[in-house]
Amino acid sequence: MLHPAARVGSNTAMRYCMVLGLLIISDGASMSAAEPAAKVTATALQAVLVKNVGHAREWLQQSDFKSLAQSAGGLQLLAELTKSQSDDAAWQAALGNVISTVGEIQAAARSEDLAASKVALAGLEKAVSAAAALEPTGQPQVLPRPPAIRSLMLTMDAIQGDAKVALLTGNVEAGKKQAGALAELARLVSNSRNTPQWTALAGDFAKAAIDAATATETDPKAVRQLFRGVAQRCEACHENSRTR
């Protein structure tokens, strides 16, 4: 992987070219790896947002306001995480819109107002499909502050459940997107506490989720196996948190 110019010339020129070559290689690597990775994460989060709006609709159809409010809590977390993926104006505005309609649903669900919930949900569906049609073009922002650990966990639990269903029905692509969203949520988990043990457990979990998200396998059985690895990391942390 030497720069072609490094093969000729004096020692000094050679060293210079090698350094330059390395700079080019490492710069190229960071551009070609980080950028698409950020897009993959954004796409995963967009898909998970759409899926969760579907869940909110199901709760509303059953007039289950408690679950609707909880589901809105998860949507808010996901929308904020999605918003932080890019600082470009269109992306920020679209996700800002999603976040404000989620707020309306939360208020309507808490007061068990069916009519207001319906109006707010229709608004949310529009806002989320507009946001899902965008491609982020800017730079990632700092992650939002992690929410209470319990709501983070409930959101991850719901995503993992959706992934299981997706893989059981052979929808490998959807499963990988759920894993991509879990990998991004793992960063919030990691930021929630800062003991070395927590950091290690959250890091293992993140790694397992990334493995599942980036798997080249297309066989649902193989990807299900990777998800078992993710579930083991969830359990490993729960075991440790209990005994602490």
Residues that bind ligand HEC (CB under 6 A): 149-150, 153-154, 156-157, 160, 182, 189, 198, 201-202, 205, 230, 233-234, 237-238, 241
Give the residue with the Cβ less far from ligand HEC, 15 or 228.
228
Q: How far is 37 from 32, CA to CA, in rounded Å?
A: 9
Could you tell me which of 211, 147, 220, 136 has the C-alpha nearest to residue 179?
211
* Chain CA centroid to CA 125, Å: 19
Give the residue with the Cβ less far from ligand HEC, 216 or 243.
243
Residue 40 C-beta: closest distance to ligand HEC, Å: 18
| Segment holding 63, helix H or strand E | none
Residue 32 C-beta: closest distance to ligand HEC, Å: 29
Residue 146 — φ and ψ, nearest 5°? Answer: -60, 140
| Segment holding 151, helix H or strand E | helix 149-168
Full DSSP string of 81-131: HHHTT---HHHHHHHHHHHHHHHHHHHHHHTT-HHHHHHHHHHHHHHHHHH
Residue 198 C-beta: closest distance to ligand HEC, Å: 6
Residue 225 C-beta: closest distance to ligand HEC, Å: 16
Give the residue with the Cβ less far from ligand HEC, 68 or 188.
188
Residue 179 C-beta: closest distance to ligand HEC, Å: 9
Tokens standing for residue 100: 């404000």
Tokens standing for residue 190: 């990691």
Residue 240 C-beta: closest distance to ligand HEC, Å: 7
Give the residue with the Cβ less far from ligand HEC, 101 or 155.
155
* Chain CA centroid to CA 207, Å: 13
Give the residue with the Cβ less far from ligand HEC, 6 or 159.
159
Give the residue with the Cβ less far from ligand HEC, 30 or 199.
199
